[in-house]
Amino acid sequence: MTKVGYARVSSKEQNLDRQLKALEGVSKVFSDKLSGQSIERPQLQALLNYLREGDIVVVTELDRLGRNNKELTELMNQIQNKGATLEVLNLPSMNGIEDENLRRLINNLVIELYKYQAESERKRIKERQAQGIEIAKKKGKFKGRQPKFKENDPRLQHAFDLFLNGLSDKEVEEQTGINRRTFRRYRQRCGISVADRPLD
């Protein structure tokens, strides 16, 4: 069993010293100076790769791992899938528990709580969006999502020509600046596929 620390601040100008001081008792510390909005942080990914079964990930506060409930839940699941558990120094219920089974049980409860909070948060956002759309409709201001291109748009037609002449979606994106997913969507809408390319 190894205790592995993780520290994070949101920008390069901020200082990690307070967290590193609190994590002095762990075997190894990984740290990032990046926003907690995304889990795509180099040292966080390095920590996840380093983890072995029975290890304990130690953070000073839960929001050092992430600020978004959905991504925080995903991270905690990844830690658990590695056979490791989480210890949060400022949460007494997750701090200093020697019994591994009890630590896993508490981790599971915390994950379920965050899942519930994340789902509730998503529902509230959808409800607010629906209410806003309904109000806008009543005022005659809601027009829905407008298509990015009309089918006769010269740039889109040029992209179709490039594709029919053998270029991939990625190459079309590089030449026209039209996002490949957007282009693929318009191709499907217009019924244009590889089968439509002229035979050599």
Q: Which token pair is 139?
A: 């005022």
Q: Which of 10, 27, 35, 193 is the catalytic position? A: 10
Q: Could you please report the per-residue DSSP string of 93-145?
A: GGSS---HHHHHHHHHHHHHHHHHHHHHHHHHHHHHHHHHHHHHHHTT----P
Alpha-carbon span 188 to 167, nearest angstrom? 16
How is residue 64 written in tokens?
């050092």
Any catalytic annotation for residue 10? Answer: yes
Give the residue numbers marked as catalytic. 10
